[in-house]
Amino acid sequence: MAERRGNRDKAEDELPVYLARPGTADQVPRQKYGGLFCSVEGAFESKTIDFDALSVGQRGSRTPRTAKRETGQEARSPATERRSTDGAERQRETAQPEIRSGCGKEVLQNLGEEKSDRLLIKGGRIVNDDQSFHADIYMEDGLIKQIGDNLIVPGGVKTIEANGKMVIPGGIDIHTHFQMPYRGTTTVDDFSQGTKAALAGGTTMIVDHVIPEPGSSLMESYDQWRQWADEKACCDYSLHVDITHWNDSVKQEVDNLIKEKGVNSFQVYMAYKDYYQMTNSELYEVFTFLAERGGIAQVHAENGEIIAEEQARMLQMGITGPEGHVLSRPEELEAEAVFRAITIASQTNCPLYVTRVMSKSAADIISQARKKGNVVFGEPITASLGTDGTHYWSKNWAKAASFVTSPPLSPDPTTPDYLNTLLSSGDLSVTGSAHCTFSVSQKAIGKDDFTQIPEGVNGVEERMSLIWDKAVTTGKMDENMFVAVTSTNAAKILNLYPRKGRIAVGSDADLVIWDTDSIRTITAKTHNSTAEYNVFEGMELRGAPLVVICQGKIILEDGNLHVTSGVGRFIPCSAFPDFAYKRVKARKQLAVLRAVPRGMYDGPVSEFSMSRGGTPSASARTSPTKQPVRNLHQSGFSLAGNPAPCGPPTPDDIPIRPAGRRIVVPPGGRSNITSLS
């Protein structure tokens, strides 16, 4: 540790501190030209903060909420008192991060210190998705203001001594269903409870799904969700909107949501027949529209038609328990729907996002499609990464029912390991939790018929720890990849990067100090969700957040949560995220189709009936004469001399092709069986 500090002192001799390349003494060309944001080859050009990109979110929602934030401060005051006593006895274990309030002279200099939300993290190792380095972070007003060594900060700043622990961007849970209405009841975790659980697990932003009832207005539902979340959310949030039916007015609403309401991702359902499910033609139209407007098409991928048939069969056979849920939704149906969605997306040149990748076969299809160059992102969820579907056969009905979600957890116990591997290799891109919990009495709606069991599992709290445990401690991925799949990739897809998902000057102060060694056992007794069951019950996970900072404020420290309902801001997402659309745009330019200019066909034309309902014609007509048609070989070539304007191979228009071209080469010469890869 001492050595490291020494290095940094040297580096700082030559440079203004805030420009020093953190953690290294190398010559860095950039400082010579002085500008923090000038793009110099080899410098951090792609990582430079683009303030224009940030302005989208900050404009609308930041200022109005300051009042609320102050009330948040007051609510927190007991905790603050406790923290100062902590500060007094700060000579504890050196390995633990310490939090120090400003004291003594510093306090005198900065009387308003408590309100200004200034925070300094010293001695942490900053982990972004591209690299890790040692540096201090100074935050003010919920933004990261400085990163570097020996920062010059105002006095009286609250300081966290990270002691070399990892500081990572707060997690983004890209898929939650808090407070989701379901047949007159609501999921037990509302936005307050849900975001509290999220923060406890190191997730500082959630993206919830707005689910309009088929037939109702998207915009009204969106407003409803905004209202619920604004009242209660404890962390920043954003919204996906689900398209549950399709017509021109929905199209108009989607357009408005993208342009005015900061929604850039829309989910369609291929399951839930006669309810949410869309036909292939509708999917095609939705995808085409989203591709034009720069949205991301999300799909719930399962073949609803076959499921409906299988469900009927199961119930007929007398299988009514939760095992029927997984038996009626085999993983092939998921893979089939993923395949179909990818086909349609590739036809319409629309970026695709597959929510809830639950099975090996579905993940395989996604990775194959990515290899073929399709723009497709896969989202495994906490449950599919952490547990499997063997529990559906549990004798305890309530336990079995708590695992019910769609697509179901795969009964194949090797699935979690496989999905973690694909997540590590980059074939799957982001992780969500699909947190959508129901109490046992709610699940019991389907006690006699598994198709009635409300669907959803927990996972928002466990997500980060679980991925750390399953993927990082096992050596599948490194800490940078961990940041990418838990936070950065999600931010990029939502077009929130680099405001979220990165520790950089100008980014939001959503940070987590991660303890790689802490071990805890997941149990429903201690979790923050209201549900009675936890699908990860009894699992021992290594890795947990030590300190969680959200909007520049300390939310979790020493195992204590200090959350304030309603401080969460809506973060609008703008259309055409580069991460997805750069490739799509390039392809659009290429994909122009052209017709072949031909002379008018002037030969004879058969008579035919337009309606296909006609009866088969009599066999007397079966031998049409060849006579008139033969002329055609010579006629109809008025344009034939013109040059062919376009790419595809244009075989000669001579009626009988030059014989030389198609002549077979000697046996074994041309065709080669080894060319079959």
Partner 1 sequence: MSGYQGKKNIPRITSDRLLIKGGKIVNDDQSFCADIYMEDGVIKQIGENLIVPGGVKTIDAHGRMLMPGGIDVHTRFQMPDRGMVSADDFYQGTKAALSGGTTMIIDHVVPEPGISLISSFEQWREWADSKSCCDYSLHVDITEWHKGIQEEMEALVKDHGVNSFLVYLAYKDIFQLTDAQVYEVFSVIRDLGAIAQVHAENGDIVAEEQRRILEQGITGPEGHVLSRPEEVEAEAVNRSVTVANQTNCPLYITKVMSKSAADVIAQARKKGTVVYGEPITASLGTDGSHYWSKNWAKAAAFVTSPPLSPDPTTPDYLNSLLSCGDLQVTGSAHCPFNTAQRAVGKDDFSLIPEGVNGTEERMSIIWDKCVVTGKMDENQFVAVTSTNAAKIFNLYPRKGRIAVGSDADLVLWDPDMTKIISAKSHNSTVEYNIFEGTEVRGGPLVVISQGKIVLEEGNLHTTEGSGRYVARKPFPDYVYKRIKARSRLAELRGVPRGLYDGPVCEVSVTPKAMTPASSAKTSPAKQPNQPVRNLHQSGFSLSGAQVDDNIPRRSTQRIVAPPGGRANITSLG
Footprint (CB under 8 A) of partner 1, residues 201-220: 212-216
Residue 445 makes contact with partner 1 by CB under 8 A = yes
Residues numbered 318 to 347 that lie near partner 1 (CB under 8 A) are 318-321, 323-324, 327, 330, 332-333, 335-336, 339-340, 343-344, 346-347
Q: Write down the residue that tokens 């003494």 correspond to.
A: 25
H-state helical runs in 240-376:
248-260, 280-293, 304-316, 323-327, 331-348, 360-371
Binding flags for partner 1, 625-664, as an x/- string (CB under 8 A): -x-xxx-xx--xx-xx---x-x-xxxx-x-xxxxx-xxxx
Q: How far is CA 565 from CA 255, 419, 555, in A?
A: 31, 35, 12
- Smallest gap from residue 181 Cβ to partner 1 (A): 4
Among 414, 526, 585, 586, the residue binding partner 1 under the rule CB under 8 A is 414
Angle at 590 between CA 283 and CA 289, to 5 degrees: 25
- Smallest gap from residue 297 Cβ to partner 1 (A): 15
Task: Give whichever of 172 and 335 is closer to partner 1, judged by the CB atom.
Answer: 335
Binding flags for partner 1, 24-43, as an x/- string (CB under 8 A): --------------------
Q: Cβ(432)–Cβ(489) under 8 Å?
A: no
Angle at 348 between CA 214 and CA 217, to 5 degrees: 20
Helix (H) or strand (E) holding 421: helix 415-425
Helix (H) or strand (E) holding 606: none
Task: Give whichever of 252 and 631 is closer to partner 1, judged by the CB atom.
Answer: 631
- Smallest gap from residue 245 Cβ to partner 1 (A): 11
Residue 475 makes contact with partner 1 by CB under 8 A = yes
Task: Give whichever of 159 and 176 is closer to partner 1, judged by the CB atom.
Answer: 176
Residues numbered 84 to 103 that lie near partner 1 (CB under 8 A) are none
Helices 191-200 and 218-232: angle between axes, nearest 10 degrees: 60
Closest CA to 203 of 432, 455, 534, 451: 432
- Smallest gap from residue 298 Cβ to partner 1 (A): 19
- Smallest gap from residue 383 Cβ to partner 1 (A): 14
Residues numbered 175 to 204 that lie near partner 1 (CB under 8 A) are 179, 181, 183-186, 188, 190-193
- Smallest gap from residue 637 Cβ to partner 1 (A): 7
Among 66, 77, 281, 526, the residue binding partner 1 under the rule CB under 8 A is 281
Q: How far is CA 103 from CA 91, 258, 641, in A?
A: 16, 48, 90
Among 140, 208, 379, 469, the residue binding partner 1 under the rule CB under 8 A is 469
Residue 280 makes contact with partner 1 by CB under 8 A = yes
Helices 360-371 and 415-425: angle between axes, nearest 10 degrees: 20
Q: How far is CA 20 from CA 40, 312, 488, 583, 651, in A?
A: 15, 66, 24, 34, 63
Among 221, 267, 488, 489, the residue binding partner 1 under the rule CB under 8 A is 221
Task: Give whichever of 91 and 611 is closer to partner 1, judged by the CB atom.
Answer: 611
**Is residue 412 classed exposed, middle or buried when 0-12, 13-18 and 19+ CB atoms within 10 A define those classes?**
middle
Q: How far is CA 430 from CA 27, 153, 376, 513, in A?
A: 35, 36, 11, 21
Task: Give whichever of 7 and 224 is closer to partner 1, judged by the CB atom.
Answer: 224
Residues numbered 585 to 604 that lie near partner 1 (CB under 8 A) are 593-601, 603-604
- Smallest gap from residue 130 Cβ to partner 1 (A): 22
Residue 231 makes contact with partner 1 by CB under 8 A = yes
- Smallest gap from residue 275 Cβ to partner 1 (A): 7
Task: Give whichever of 98 and 253 is closer to partner 1, judged by the CB atom.
Answer: 253
Among 12, 285, 449, 478, the residue binding partner 1 under the rule CB under 8 A is 285
Q: Give me the residues paired with residue 557 across strands.
A: 560
Task: Give whichever of 108 and 639 is closer to partner 1, judged by the CB atom.
Answer: 639
Task: Give whichever of 135 and 180 is closer to partner 1, judged by the CB atom.
Answer: 180
Residue 395 makes contact with partner 1 by CB under 8 A = yes
Binding flags for partner 1, 148-177, as an x/- string (CB under 8 A): ------------------------------
Binding flags for partner 1, 522-561, as an x/- string (CB under 8 A): --------x-x---xxxxxxx-------------------
Q: How far is CA 90 from CA 94, 119, 123, 164, in A?
A: 9, 17, 16, 17
Task: Give whichever of 172 and 342 is closer to partner 1, judged by the CB atom.
Answer: 342
Q: Cβ(552)–Cβ(467) under 8 Å?
A: no
Closest CA to 301 of 321, 281, 283: 283
Binding flags for partner 1, 425-444, as an x/- string (CB under 8 A): x-------------xxxx-x
- Smallest gap from residue 322 Cβ to partner 1 (A): 8
Q: What is the DSSP string of 367-389?
A: HHHHHTT--EEEEEBHHHHH--G
Helices first, then strands: H and E counts in the chain: 24, 19
Between CA 123 and CA 161 the distance in angstroms is: 6
Q: Cβ(225)–Cβ(261) under 8 Å?
A: no
Q: Write down the residue that tokens 């404009």 correspond to.
A: 59
Residue 609 makes contact with partner 1 by CB under 8 A = yes
Task: Give whichever of 267 and 442 is closer to partner 1, judged by the CB atom.
Answer: 442
Residues numbered 238 to 277 that lie near partner 1 (CB under 8 A) are 273, 275
Q: Give me the residues paired with residue 127 across strands.
A: 132
Q: Cβ(354)–Cβ(338) under 8 Å?
A: yes
Prior bond of 498 cis (ω within 30°):
yes
Among 306, 354, 436, 549, the residue binding partner 1 under the rule CB under 8 A is 306
Residue 308 makes contact with partner 1 by CB under 8 A = yes
- Smallest gap from residue 468 Cβ to partner 1 (A): 10
